[in-house]
Structure 1
């Protein structure tokens, strides 16, 4: 598949780039600071400003899918760029804040959710609600575990829908490497068209 990863220089984006390229996909890795992106077989690096619709649309034209590993201040722009370029699929790395911990109760609304995280999390919650009204783009919103950490690439994880996935100890976590595996698995399997999924140990 020919894919573009926007926000490819961060922890999540760089892991997705490496995972997709290792599986034989043709990856365009885009970031404002392309010098921070690791190169390798199957990876083409490009500078790109995700706040500029025309610039991103030109870069992603002809791709089979776009994966966004961005913060949510540029997501509306990205959606516009995907539409303009005619890319058939968009996968978004979202946060865990919008996942339910009980019927009708989101993680962001619990006392355990740190106040300092809320300004960053509300954008992801809002963008998911926006995507749920979108019919003309085949989108997937990936909410990860509550904790993503530097850890081993195990290839093992459990998936869910709108509910937070926890282990036997009640913890919700996944390594950056396994997060990337879950995203690229979804890219290939296409199980969550116009819907959200989550993954955790």
Structure 2
């Protein structure tokens, strides 16, 4: 399967690429800085900007599946205290719109989107401490994820929106909790487990515009 990963230099994007290559898939890593991705067998690196629709369109051609793990990994506290911005504040909103609009016509390409728990349908399930942290520190990032959620719901794309709880870089466990009603297990979950779930979701082919909560 030919898989393109948007947001390839983030923690989740890197984990998905590693797992997809290990499974024998052909992977295209889309990133603004190609030099930040180490070369590997089966990996094609495309330098481009998700905010530029023409960059997105040329990358989508010939792909069998899409993973959208866009986000702003810049330190939120640094931004609050005036650090220079390295990522547009609406990268998820605009990037996702460009990807959906750039999909080749006449093909039903499965898409898995990594969103954020506590946006859209799961907003009522957000724990109080998470809600406080989001409002005080991650307000801008969560607003962008909320817009991404709305864009997906307004589309006819074959997508699955995965809303993970707090992601860690701990080794994968091979077990996780998935729900369709916002119920979650442990609040921490390894990125390796999320990546495995993403690949299984792409391979299974059920992408009927559903939102799933992913937790440990």
TM > 0.5 fold call? yes
Q: How many Å separate the matches in 2 of 1:138 and 1:192?
A: 5
Q: How many Å separate the matches in 2 of 1:85 and 1:39?
A: 32
Which structure shows the higher strand fraction? 1
Aligned to 2:162: 142
Aligned to 1:178: 193
Q: CA deviation at 1:85?
A: 9.4
Match status 1:121 vs 2:142: yes
Q: How many Å separate the matches in 2 of 1:28 and 1:121?
A: 27
Query: Relative to structure 1, is the Cα distance of residues 99 and 154 closer, same or farther in structure 2, using a 3 angstrom cutoff?
Result: farther
Q: How many Å separate the matches in 1 of 2:106 and 2:3?
A: 13
TM-score by length of 1: 0.86
Aligned to 2:51: 51
What SS does the corresponding residue of 1:193 show, helix, strand or coil? Answer: coil
Can you list the C-alpha shifts for 1:27-59, whole angstroms capped at 9, x where unaligned?
A: 011100111113322211111111111111111
Query: Relative to structure 1, is the Cα distance of residues 141 and 188 closer, same or farther in structure 2, using a 3 angstrom cutoff?
Result: same
Aligned to 1:190: 205
Q: CA deviation at 1:100?
A: 6.0
Q: Any stretches of 5+ residues in structure 2 without a counterpart?
A: 72-91
The partner residue of 2:180 within 123, 143, 161 is 161
Q: How many Å separate the matches in 2 of 1:8 and 1:36?
A: 9
Query: Relative to structure 1, is the Cα distance of residues 77 and 162 closer, same or farther in structure 2, using a 3 angstrom cutoff?
Result: farther
RMSD of aligned residue pairs (Cα, Å): 2.2
Answer with 81-90 or 184-193: which moved more. Answer: 81-90
